[in-house]
Amino acid sequence: MQFTTQIPIMKSNYPIDYNSRIVSIGSCFAVNMNEKLEYYKFRNIVNPLGILFHPYAIAKLVDFAVTAREFTAHDIFFHNECWHSFDAHSDLNSLSKEDLLYSLNSRVSLFRDQIMHASHIIITLGTAWVYRNIENGMLVANCHKVPQKQFTKELLPIESIKNSFEQIVTQITTANKNCTIIFTISPVRHIKDGFVENQVSKSHLISAVYDLVNSNDDKIVYFPSYEIMMDELRDYRFYSEDMLHPNKTAIDYIWQKFSQAYISEAGLQTIELVDSIQKGLAHRPFNPDSTQHVKFLTQLQNKIVSLQGKFPHIHF
pLDDT tens by residue, 157-185: 999 999 999 999 999 999 999 999 999 99
- Is residue 1's pLDDT more than 90? no
- The yes-or-no verdict on residue 109 having pLDDT over 70 is yes
In a domain, 63, yes or no: yes
pLDDT tens across 23-40, in order?
999 999 999 999 999 999
The answer to whether residue 289 is domain-embedded is no
In a domain, 88, yes or no: yes
Give how many domains the chain has, as a whole number: 1
The answer as to whether 305 is a domain residue is no
**Looking at the domain assignment, is residue 205 inside a domain?**
yes
285 — pLDDT class (breaks 50, 70, 90): confident
Structural domain contains residue 271: no
Report if residue 316 sits inside a domain: no
Distance of alpha carbon 253 from the chain centroid:
17
CATH number at residue 142: 3.40.50.1110
- The span from the CA of 190 to the CA of 205, in Å, is 13
CB 28: neighbour CB atoms within 10 A?
Answer: 14
Rounded Cα–Cα distance for residues 232 and 44 (Å): 28
Residue 58 included in any domain = yes
Q: What average pLDDT does the segment 265-294 reach?
A: 92
DSSP-based three-state secondary structure for 98: helix
Contact at 8 Å (CB) between 119 and 37?
Answer: no
**79 DSSP β-pair partners:** 82
Enter the pTM of the model: 0.94
Question: How far, in Å, CA of 213 to CA of 220, rounded?
Answer: 6
Domain encompassing residue 191: 21-263
- CA-wise closest residue to 280 among 301, 255, 309: 301
